């Protein structure tokens, strides 16, 4: 499942975040990936323990709390702290085809997180750079994504994906992983569609025995499939 979630950040929030990021110290993005990723990754990234990254990451997660669509789609159990990257057109930076690692250690914690859902929050508008599309591959083909600043794309972490080289300007994004209460992407997508359908029926017919029955089945499936 891929889902575009618009307006996670307002234009004012994006501007404030970009100002803080522009004043931070960036490092080679290859320092934060394994040997496979380092072969195809060319970008810059804020260090995971950067005070700027930690503070702006908290702002990203706080903003997500106001978006019921994200909760419905991801059904989050826990998050990795959001990270930040930038791709410069001067150096034709991009990230070749890869898959995200299945497990990541949570910084300053003994906890490991299973990466079920990947999210990219765009912090540059499409007219600020050329190239730089996020390209996600699944059984239906390759899907190109280039969203307005403040919008987020959510997709299964099992997907092969890449970032096309930026040929002009600069692409700035935040990205992070979520461990879902529902491990299986198909089950998670089914619950999301069922939740939307229940809401639609409730808006058309009000609360009735049928919507109550479907809501009960939704929660029974969530109870059956969910993991702590």
Determine the pLDDT at residue 228.
77
Split at pLDDT 50, 70, 90, the class of 107 is confident
What is the 3-state secondary structure of the chain? CEEEECCCCCHHHHHHHHHHHHCCCCEEHHHHCCHHHHCCEECEECCCCCHHHHHHHHHHHHHHCCCHHHHHHHCEEEECCCEEEEEECCCCCEEEEECCCCEEECCCCCCEEECCEEEEEECCCHHHEEECCEEEEECCEEEEECCCCCCEEEEECCCEEEECCEEEEEEEEEEEEEEECCCCHHHHHHHHHHHHHHHHHHHHHCCCHHHHHHHHHHHHHHHHHCCC
Split at pLDDT 50, 70, 90, the class of 128 is very high
Q: Is pLDDT above 80 for 33?
A: no
Task: Please give the class, per CATH, of domain 2-180.
Answer: mainly beta
Q: Is pLDDT above 80 for 36?
A: no
Cα separation, 31 vs 33, in Å, equals: 6
Per residue in 64-73, pLDDT (tens digit) is 998 999 999 9
In the chain, the percentage of residues whose pLDDT exceeds 90 is 89
Q: Is pLDDT above 80 for 32?
A: no
Does residue 154 or residue 30 have the better pLDDT?
154
Split at pLDDT 50, 70, 90, the class of 31 is confident
Domain ranges of the chain: 2-180, 185-225
Mean pLDDT value across residues 205-223: 95
Mean pLDDT value across residues 209-217: 95
Determine the pLDDT at residue 199.
96
Q: Is pLDDT above 90 for 45?
A: yes
How far is CA 170 from each of CA 28, 86, 126, 154, rounded to the nearest angstrom?
15, 7, 10, 22
The pTM is what?
A: 0.94
């Amino acid at each position: 499942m891929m889902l575009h979630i618009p307006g996670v950040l307002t234009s004012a929030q994006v501007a404030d975040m970009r100002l803080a990021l522009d004043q931070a110290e960036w490092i080679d993005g290859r320092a934060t990936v394994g040997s496979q990723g380092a072969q195809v990754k060319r970008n810059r990234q804020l260090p995971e323990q950067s005070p700027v990254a930690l503070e702006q990451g908290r702002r990203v997660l706080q903003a997500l709390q106001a978006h019921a669509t994200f909760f419905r789609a991801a059904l989050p159990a826990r998050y990795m702290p959001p990270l930040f990257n930038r791709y410069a057109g001067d150096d034709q930076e991009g990230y070749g085809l890869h898959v995200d690692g299945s497990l990541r250690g949570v910084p300053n914690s003994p906890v490991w997180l299973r990466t079920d859902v990947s999210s990219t929050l765009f912090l540059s508008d499409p007219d600020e750079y050329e190239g730089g599309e996020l390209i996600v591959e699944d059984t239906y083909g390759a899907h190109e994504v280039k969203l307005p600043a403040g919008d987020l794309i959510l997709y299964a972490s099992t997907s092969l994906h890449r970032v096309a080289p930026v040929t002009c300007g600069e692409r700035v994004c935040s990205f992070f992983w979520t461990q879902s209460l529902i491990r299986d992407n198909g089950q998670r997508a089914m619950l999301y569609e069922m939740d939307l359908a229940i809401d639609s029926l409730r808006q058309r017919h009000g609360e009735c025995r049928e919507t109550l029955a479907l809501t009960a089945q939704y929660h029974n499936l969530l109870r059956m499939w969910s993991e702590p």
